[in-house]
Chain A
């Protein structure tokens, strides 16, 4: 079953267009949503959550159309934009007491369990929590109302490596039961190398690829050749960097000819992102 089905979302802004964004997330998996700053990650997530009205396309969550079942589906979705950054001077207890009244499946025992697990003190004010703790509090809230789909915008940005690693471990534990699915956007690609099952890459408002992680990485090759070899492949490269030793460039695997004699290696997600961003720079 699909936890999330985004179909042809289009949104026009002056100077930016979210162009036919489509991707699917199977239930029980983690999808990393990557792209450079301004690529359209947050706009896509806001479209998923019905916070902005797309000009076209539709979103289905757990088999139901979001636009028609917003209230019902929001009971099943846990969302966070970074950490909790509202009512900062309120205590966790006060905020939770308010929030839980909105959810029909709120489970106090689960909430207590996650508070303990995340070492959250209910009497602390939101402003007193570290960035990582704020994200964990957001997760505790989402999980206590039985969210089946977590949609998280940059949950790991601003976290130190230890807190990030801890959070990624939590993500992996959550999907183990096969019921919870996670879509999280990030520009820290190493997070995804560790825990994502699927990758969706957005660049300048367009989905460049959406596939399982290994397949996604395998669909690109990073070439490393002499400057004299550049002319052979230049047309087919997504973008390249030239220096006194030669060039390195990203190419789609289907466009790579192994007999060309140019060395190739599997790129990292970061390299794919960087070379795509470089392509945009050239176009600008």
Chain B
């Protein structure tokens, strides 16, 4: 499995997509922006380009001919996706911290970069993974419909969460007000748990589907 991950990073993932987390993470420095967009760039740019690349390079045929099992092929690809997601999140957190130092007195209209907001970001990516991974592995080749659907639902979640955050004074205060550290940590833990759970379920469903795929 480790060999497959290495193979993906060496052959399939362009170094540009390892630089992308830095570039999109830097968008956290835009004062008062909708910071959900920072992670959505991963879904909008990295995923379609990366999977388009795998298809153009005939990766499925290449990998199938290697001495590997189908479940390992899925596990490695999910590992690559999750690694890139975590890299995007890590850089966003880093720039988010810089944001708070740069603009200590800024009044946020949308969600401020906070621990609780990070939990929401994990939840958004959980939705993306839960839809994209199993849908893609129905063919392990066509990624368009899987990408549109998963990105659509991730954006819907982000849009609804952000709308609620603006409209509801309670939520606005929870995410942008002072204090509430305990609640923020709880939201973060819930987000991480959802991310891990959804990704695991997505992996299992993808393996089941991929075993039926004829190459």
Spell out A's residues near B (CB within 8 Å).
46, 49, 51-53, 70-71, 74-75, 79, 81, 85-90, 94-95, 97-99, 101-103
Tell me, yes or no, whether B3 is within 8 Å of chain A by CB.
Answer: yes
Tell me, yes or no, whether B61 is within 8 Å of chain A by CB.
Answer: yes
Q: Which of B58, B69, B214 contacts A85 (CB 8 A)?
A: B58
Q: Which of B59, B66, B69 contacts A99 (CB 8 A)?
A: B66
Given A98-B7, A101-B3: A70 in contact with B61 (beta carbons within 8 A): no
Least CB distance, B52 to chain A, in whole angstroms? 14
Q: Please, how many angstroms separate the alpha-carbon atoms of A99 and B65 in the complex?
A: 10
Instruction: Specify the chain A residue showing the minimal Cβ separation from B2.
Output: A101
Q: Are B61 and A103 in contact (CB under 8 A)?
A: no
Q: Please, how many angstroms separate the alpha-carbon atoms of A99 and B212 in the complex?
A: 25
Q: Please, how many angstroms separate the alpha-carbon atoms of A71 and B69 in the complex?
A: 7
Residues in B neighbouring A95, C-beta threshold 8 A: 11
Q: Are B67 and A51 in contact (CB under 8 A)?
A: no
Q: Please, how many angstroms separate the alpha-carbon atoms of A51 and B11 in the complex?
A: 22
Residues in B neighbouring A49, C-beta threshold 8 A: 64-65
B residues 190-215 touching A (CB-CB < 8 Å): 212, 214-215
Instruction: Specify the chain A residue showing the minimal Cβ separation from B60.
Output: A86
Q: Are A53 and B3 in contact (CB under 8 A)?
A: no
**Which has the most chain B C-beta neighbours within 10 Å: A75, A85, A88, A101?**
A101
Q: Please, how many angstroms separate the alpha-carbon atoms of A85 and B37 in the complex?
A: 37
Q: Are A94 and B11 in contact (CB under 8 A)?
A: yes
Tell me, yes or no, whether B57 is within 8 Å of chain A by CB.
Answer: yes
Q: Which of A75, A87, A89 contacts B67 (CB 8 A)?
A: A75
Residues in A neighbouring B61, C-beta threshold 8 A: 81, 85-86
Residues in B neighbouring A97, C-beta threshold 8 A: 10
Q: Please, how many angstroms separate the alpha-carbon atoms of A102 and B4 in the complex?
A: 9
Residues in B neighbouring A98, C-beta threshold 8 A: 6-7, 10-11
Q: Are A103 and B11 in contact (CB under 8 A)?
A: no
Residues in B neighbouring A70, C-beta threshold 8 A: 69
Residues in A neighbouring B11, C-beta threshold 8 A: 87, 90, 94-95, 98
Q: Are A51 and B214 in contact (CB under 8 A)?
A: yes
Tell me, yes or no, whether B68 is within 8 Å of chain A by CB.
Answer: yes
Residues in A neighbouring B214, C-beta threshold 8 A: 46, 51-53
Residues in B neighbouring A90, C-beta threshold 8 A: 11
Q: Are A71 and B64 in contact (CB under 8 A)?
A: no
Residues in A neighbouring B57, C-beta threshold 8 A: 86-89
Q: Are A74 and B58 in contact (CB under 8 A)?
A: no
Least CB distance, B139 to chain A, in whole angstroms? 14
Given A71-B67, A87-B57: A52 in contact with B215 (beta carbons within 8 A): yes
Q: Please, how many angstroms separate the alpha-carbon atoms of A85 and B62 in the complex?
A: 8
Least CB distance, B195 to chain A, in whole angstroms? 30
Q: Please, how many angstroms separate the alpha-carbon atoms of A71 and B73 in the complex?
A: 13
Residues in B neighbouring A94, C-beta threshold 8 A: 10-11
Given A51-B214, A88-B57, A94-B10: A74 in contact with B62 (beta carbons within 8 A): no
Q: Are B67 and A86 in contact (CB under 8 A)?
A: no
Residues in B neighbouring A99, C-beta threshold 8 A: 66
Known contacts A49-B64, A51-B215, then 12 further A-B pairs from the complex at CB < 8 Å, ordered by chain A residue? A46-B215, A49-B65, A52-B215, A74-B67, A86-B57, A86-B59, A87-B58, A101-B7, A102-B3, A102-B67, A102-B68, A103-B67
Q: Are B62 and A51 in contact (CB under 8 A)?
A: no
Closest 10 CB pairs of A and B: A74-B67, A86-B62, A86-B58, A52-B214, A51-B215, A102-B66, A101-B3, A98-B7, A87-B57, A75-B67
Least CB distance, A116 to chain B, in whole angstroms? 24
Mark interface residues in B94-112 (1 if CB within 8 Å of A CB, else 0): 0000000000000000000
Q: Please, how many angstroms separate the alpha-carbon atoms of A70 and B66 in the complex?
A: 11
Given A52-B214, A88-B57: A79 in contact with B7 (beta carbons within 8 A): no
A-B contact pairs, 9 of them (CB 8 A): A46-B214, A46-B215, A52-B214, A71-B68, A74-B68, A87-B62, A94-B11, A98-B6, A101-B7
Q: Please, how many angstroms separate the alpha-carbon atoms of A101 and B10 in the complex?
A: 12
B residues 1-37 touching A (CB-CB < 8 Å): 3, 6-7, 10-11
Least CB distance, A17 to chain B, in whole angstroms? 15
Least CB distance, A162 to chain B, in whole angstroms? 28
Instruction: Specify the chain A residue showing the minimal Cβ separation from B67.
Output: A74
**Which has the most chain A C-beta neighbours within 10 Å: B11, B57, B58, B67?**
B67
Q: Please, how many angstroms separate the alpha-carbon atoms of A193 and B142 in the complex?
A: 42
